[in-house]
Chain A
Amino acid sequence: MIGFIDTLTLARAKLRSKKVLLSVTVVLASLVFGIIITGMIVVTGASRSANTYLQAALGGKYLVAVNPIIPDEILGYGSMTETPSDTLKAHLTDLQKQYIAEQEKLAKQYDVAFNSESIDPILKANPFGAKDAFGNVTQVINRDAPAYQMYVLELQNEWLKTASNSFTDLKKLAGVDGATTYYQNQRSSLGYANAMYLTNGKEDLTKIGQPLSTDYTSFIQNSAYTFTDQSLINRYVLPENAARQANKKAIPVVVTAQEATKLFSEQIGIPKEPSDAAGKIIWMKALQEKLNGLTYQACYRSPGEIALIQQTMQQNQTDTSMNSSLASMQSSIMYNLPTSTCAPVTIKKDSRTTAEKQADANLEAYQKAAGTYQPQITQLLTFQIVGIMPLGSQTDGKYNDIPSLITGLLGSQYQDGAFIPTQLYTQLSVTEQHKDILQYSTSVRGENVQKLVDAGITPAIISFPSAASAKKFINTNTCLTMDESSCKKPWTSQLYGPNYLLTDDISKKVGDIAKLVLPIALIVAAIIMSFTMARVIIDSRHETAVFRALGAKRIDIMRIYLIYSVMVAVLVAIFSFLIGTGGAVTIELLYGPEITDQAKVAYGVFDSLGKFSLIGVDGMLLGIVAAAILLVGILAVLPPLIRNVRRNPIRDMRDE
């Protein structure tokens, strides 16, 4: 059999023939593989850069926010038209009677007139007038009735016996997947119903108790704050500056850049958010500098105070439309509306008799005992911006272009837009904390949940040491959605902070695409190469015949052409890698700076990170491609070669 060096010599001589055809083949096949290699390099690079950015963003914490799933009826919700069964109807009627009896007893105790008719009934006529078989209007459950709350408590007690999504359950299950820390983000009890954001420092009493806006940049306007462990949002908290040193009594707030711009851009002279990433960086920096330490105010009024204001406003309206002497007869106590921003309601005229005053005092005592007393509190709250975070991805998982993908990749996915960092907050004095009105509330939906909270059925944020462990927990125990209705697991979950699972998703998608594209590319390249190989071999039949005449065995011919095809494949591999690398470098030069800026904006910190490089080499992947090219080269040459070797050499000599 022919030696290896001789085989190389003859194969190399072969390589010098059919140069044009060979060049076209090498270029075409290299283009096919080169594009794949470019894709691999760019995806690997982007994925690695994203991971670097993510590592910096996450600080080793892979956070998952979980919400326990609680059936609606347990929270007191239900259909407006639900007709209860006869048994339930009887039970609800009993509860109503029990409630009336308790209230009557209390009223007697405090010497307050009691009218059982004034108590909201637990059953009421169907609001839409639906009738039963006998033509009577059906009765439905009145979920607003105070006695209904007793029924809800009964349901909660029953449900809690089998509930498996308490904080203890959570710790047990998440612990299995390696969870390290548990946080409880607590929504402040403040809200648009009791605290009004003072636009330009002014209070508009006509809009009291109404939400100002409902979009995702209106947390401050609606006084919707969330107490958050500072470590979760630390990278957005800005260093203390002169403005903050001068005022250390305000409540600290971390707000989104978009909301801050909406509220304060005119005041501080910041233009709208530019669309290009480089502009955004400059914009964000200016925003941070100007907003750090900026204060704004909101006026808190207790429900009792709000009710009084609304009553007084109504009274004033009646006064203006009626004879004042008549109007003054309507009430023995008259109030003045607040005369300045966030001032309390004052008594204008108190013409009550001693007996009336006593009756009012009795009523207050009775309401306190019954838990229905509404105190009159007014407090001016001052907040101070201590941090800016970029607004999270609003693309709902639709990533149409590279920048939105990067934003999705690195952007924050926080559920609440205005945060009070707890560590900074607790540094305030008790008075400055306004704890009585900003009290922590672990409420799930704000009502009827104290019992559930006591049993540990609360939302939580869990920190996992890796994306894999977080993912395992999410997949096993939760539905990664906000929609509770379709979830059959104990919790719903959302990623908290940057979307660290997206890189995983993208890798999977890229993997899926690669599984589809690579075989197609291999087939295309194989067709191109086998066409050329077949051509070269057919054109070499005389030469093969001469070699056979000179004593070459079939195996010698096989060896020469196999080595030849390996040489061609190596050429294709070299050119593929050159084209692939060239393509990746071109993409890096074209898009690298823009994507780096975009990533920095998405990440929200601008100085501490290096370039978002789109170049990354995965040795194993490239090795697979190289092996595939070699394999394609050898496979492409086999069919024509086998056909050729089987031929009688004399036939090809005779053809001459």
Chain B
Amino acid sequence: MTPKATPEQIDAYLALFANNPYNAMVAIKEHVQRRSAVTSESISAPSHSETAIITAQSLTKTYKLGRQRIQALHDVSFTIYDGEFVALTGASGSGKSTLLQLIGGLDKPTSGEIIVNDTNLNHLPDAKLSTFRNKTIGFIFQFFYLQPFLRLSKNIEVPSMFAHTKRSIRRLHVKELIERVGLAQQAPQLPKQLSGGQIQRAAIARALMNNPKILLADEPTGNLDSTNSRAIIELFKQIRAEFGMTIVLVTHNPEIAALADREIQLKDGTLI
């Protein structure tokens, strides 16, 4: 298997060429070529390290809905390891989306702790949480949420805009990702010109834009037919093999969940 390079390593590597964009592009190309050398064998035989990348300890989340208090999560503890592909399952309202949002730093638990990539998210101020989401997490939403008036390529570029990445580097990366998800032809198009499957692939490309360590997908196949759903999961697997990232996928579909390494099941806010 090709040794995985962390985003930090890539950044450090690119920094060597900071003053020479041509050299930087050559370096990126080489990096991309190394990634392309992933074999089908390596996809079918996934492996992950024993390093914990997500640790949840006694997570509780309570919402106020009018005068009612709704307990979305209750005393949830688990560990997800670096490189793992985990499916979060459960019925509607079981708390799986809430858990995903806590992992992604979009929300904070009422009590308990969530440690992602050695960072306790409870203690991060808003601006640092934003940076955490931007650099560490890649989000894929059920409803895709592409900007309707931005071309596909620009939509994919959005996370790197917030990361203030150099334009030349961005463009190369966008090109690479767009080709990787098979949308090179559609790059100049607006989202409304694309099919559901194409939009979801674009959303995946966008999630990968900043080379995150963790990919969080909330019902990514919820709006797709079974063929497209399977194709998306295949894509996730390839990505995992290729980039070595951790994937947490929320689904209520057992067939999809079965394709993951492991399943974490929730019922009424607690782990089963």
Contacts and interface: CB of A to CB of B under 8 A. Distances in A.
Contacts of A1: 164
A542 B141 CA distance: 12
Nearest to B151: A13
B210 A551 contact: yes
- Which of A543, A555, A653: most chain B CB closer than 10 A? A653
Given A3-B161, A9-B150, A10-B161, A549 B106 contact: yes
B163 interface: yes
A551 B107 contact: no
B148 A17 contact: yes
B107 A553 contact: no
A551 B162 contact: yes
A547 B164 contact: no
A3 B162 CA distance: 8
A550 B139 contact: yes
A457 B164 CA distance: 85
A550 B162 contact: yes
Interface in A108-154: none
B149 A548 contact: no
Contacts, number: 77
A1 B130 CA distance: 11
Nearest to A560: B161
Contacts of B149: 13-14, 16-17
A551 B163 contact: yes
A290 interface: no
B147 A10 contact: yes
B261 to A, nearest CB: 25
A551 B133 contact: yes
Contacts of B104: 549
A549 B138 CA distance: 9
Interface string A643-656: 00000111001001
A152 to B, nearest CB: 93
Interface residues of B, number: 28
A554 interface: yes
Contacts of A548: 106, 130, 133
A2 interface: yes
A10 B133 CA distance: 19
B143 interface: yes
Interface string A551-580: 111111000000000000000000000000
A9 B133 contact: no
Nearest to A5: B167
Nearest to B155: A13
Given A548-B130, A650-B107, A553 B148 contact: no
Contact of A543 (B147, B154, B164): B147
B168 interface: no
Nearest to B135: A551
Given A2-B164, A9-B154, A550 B133 contact: yes
Contacts of A550: 133-134, 139, 158-159, 162, 206
Given A17-B149, A550-B133, A550-B134, A6 B161 contact: yes
B145 A551 contact: no
A546 interface: yes
Contact of B162 (A542, A553, A650): A553
Contact of B141 (A13, A17, A546): A546
B165 to A, nearest CB: 10
B127 interface: yes
Interface in B118-174: 126-127, 130-131, 133-135, 139, 141, 143, 145, 147-150, 154, 158-159, 161-164
Contact of A3 (B130, B141, B148, B164): B164
A636 B249 CA distance: 41
A556 B101 contact: no
A417 to B, nearest CB: 74
Contacts of A553: 126-127, 130-131, 162
A12 to B, nearest CB: 8
B133 A549 contact: yes
A480 B224 CA distance: 87
Contacts of B126: 553-554
Interface string B244-272: 00000000000000000000000000000
Interface string A14-33: 10110000000000000000
Given A2-B164, A548-B130, A553-B130, A543 B150 contact: no
A549 B134 CA distance: 8
A13 B139 contact: no
Contact of B158 (A542, A547, A649): A547
A13 B162 contact: no
Contacts of B106: 548-549, 649-650, 653
A56 B107 CA distance: 76
Contact of B161 (A2, A14, A16, A555): A2
Nearest to B146: A546
Contacts of B135: 551
A87 to B, nearest CB: 97
Nearest to B162: A551
A553 B135 CA distance: 13
B166 to A, nearest CB: 10
A74 to B, nearest CB: 87
Contacts of A552: 130, 134, 162
Interface string A524-550: 000000000000000000110011111
Interface string A340-383: 00000000000000000000000000000000000000000000
A552 B154 CA distance: 15
B147 A2 contact: no
Contacts of A10: 147, 150, 158, 161
Contacts of A549: 104, 106, 133, 139, 141
Contacts of A547: 158, 162
A561 to B, nearest CB: 14
Contacts of A555: 127
Contacts of B158: 10, 547, 550
Nearest to A552: B162
Contacts of A13: 147, 149-150, 154
Nearest to A13: B149
Contacts of B101: 650, 653
A551 B147 contact: no
A546 B133 CA distance: 11
Interface in B78-108: 101, 104, 106-107
22 contacts: A3-B164, A9-B150, A10-B150, A13-B149, A13-B150, A14-B149, A542-B145, A543-B145, A546-B139, A548-B133, A549-B104, A549-B106, A550-B139, A550-B158, A550-B159, A550-B206, A551-B130, A551-B162, A551-B210, A553-B162, A653-B106, A656-B143
Given A14-B149, A547-B158, A553-B131, 10 more contacts: A9-B154, A17-B148, A543-B147, A547-B162, A549-B139, A550-B133, A550-B139, A553-B162, A649-B106, A650-B106
Interface of B: 101, 104, 106-107, 126-127, 130-131, 133-135, 139, 141, 143, 145, 147-150, 154, 158-159, 161-164, 206, 210
Q: A-B pairs with the 10 shortest C-beta distances?
A: A551-B134, A6-B161, A16-B149, A13-B149, A546-B145, A551-B162, A553-B130, A650-B107, A650-B106, A550-B159
